């Protein structure tokens, strides 16, 4: 095993430990995900950097929530200069914590992770909001509820503005139960979206190995997601990793015996089994 493979294996093990914790340790999972993508990166160094970036952020005891958020925004967006990256939106590097911390730019969801983790270290509880196509955050317990967009330097967004955005996204059609799009989501959900972003970015650049890493993490996060197991088998097979492909197909067949494409997958598995001898 090469040094790079060894580093990736270690990073994957630390990622698994972070997602198995209850609650899921978002900062550790994001740090070790980045370390697996970029084996020269050490996840512990990224966690230490988050600690350093929190230094200098002082929140007066018992200060109003609005003051807490104002101080947090001043620290993250004015002093540290974090901002959204519009030039490299499809670049997989900007779905990784190391790049975002080094360059102080990134995609909405990664900036939300940075914002949430700096806030947590300063004693402010921030929730992730899985708004379609553009992740947001919201201070826990805010009343009335308001939302923050780290991609746009901490812009405050109100509920009605997001309802109107949903309406535009639906081409004017009535959006059923729009409040579900503004619900708090668990850390597990953030990681799923990050991995989906990485899968898409790697496939766009024809980096199938990178896409496989993303899908392997997705089946760890969502082991009952049928389509990911099929896709994992197909991609492994494409790269000639036949034994690993057979394992994914076998899982698919055993868990979903009523899948509409079961015969196709069984046929692929039979071919692989014969080839493996």
DSSP state of 271: H
| In the chain, domain spans | 3-185, 223-277
- Tokens 């089994």 appear where? 273
pLDDT for the residue 93: 93
Along the chain (277 residues), what's the average pLDDT of each consecutive run of 10 residues? 91 98 97 98 98 96 94 98 88 95 95 98 97 95 94 95 91 83 96 97 95 98 96 96 96 96 95 82
pLDDT at position 277, please? 62
d(CA 51, CA 103): 17
What is the bridge-based pairing of β-strands 83-84 and 105-106? Answer: parallel
Reference 97, options 49, 45, 34, 55; nearest CA is: 34
> Positive or negative, the Cα torsion across 60, 62, 63, 69?
positive
Q: What is the pLDDT of residue 90?
A: 83
Contact 82, 88 (CB under 8 A): no
Q: Are 200 and 91 in contact (CB under 8 A)?
A: no
Which pLDDT tens digit goes with each residue over 225-247? 999 999 999 999 999 999 999 99
Contact 77, 69 (CB under 8 A): no
């Amino acid at each position: 095993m090469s040094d790079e493979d060894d580093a990736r294996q270690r990073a994957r093990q630390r990622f698994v430990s972070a997602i198995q914790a209850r609650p899921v340790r978002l900062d550790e999972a994001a740090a070790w995900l980045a370390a697996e993508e970029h084996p020269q990166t050490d996840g512990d160094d990224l966690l230490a950097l988050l600690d350093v970036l929190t230094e200098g952020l002082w929140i007066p005891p018992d200060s109003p929530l609005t003051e807490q958020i104002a101080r947090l925004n001043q620290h993250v967006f004015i002093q540290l200069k974090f901002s959204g990256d519009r030039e490299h939106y499809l670049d997989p590097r900007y779905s990784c914590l190391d790049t975002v911390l080094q360059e102080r730019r990134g995609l909405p969801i990664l900036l939300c992770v940075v914002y949430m983790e700096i806030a947590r270290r300063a004693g402010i509880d921030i929730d992730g909001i899985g708004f379609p196509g553009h992740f947001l955050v919201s201070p826990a317990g805010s009343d009335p509820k308001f939302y923050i967009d780290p991609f746009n330097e901490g812009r405050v967004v109100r509920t009605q503005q997001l309802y109107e955005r949903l309406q535009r996204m639906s081409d004017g059609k009535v959006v059923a139960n729009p409040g579900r799009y503004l619900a708090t989501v668990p850390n597990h959900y953030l990681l799923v979206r990050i991995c989906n972003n990485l899968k898409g970015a790697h496939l766009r650049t024809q980096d199938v190995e990178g896409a496989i890493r993303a899908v392997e993490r997705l089946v760890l996060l969502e082991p009952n997601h049928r389509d990911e197991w099929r896709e994992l088998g197909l991609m492994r097979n494409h790269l000639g990793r036949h034994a690993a492909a057979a394992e994914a197909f076998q899982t698919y067949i055993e868990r979903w015996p009523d899948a509409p494409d079961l015969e196709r997958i069984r046929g692929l598995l039979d071919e692989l089994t014969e080839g493996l001898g």
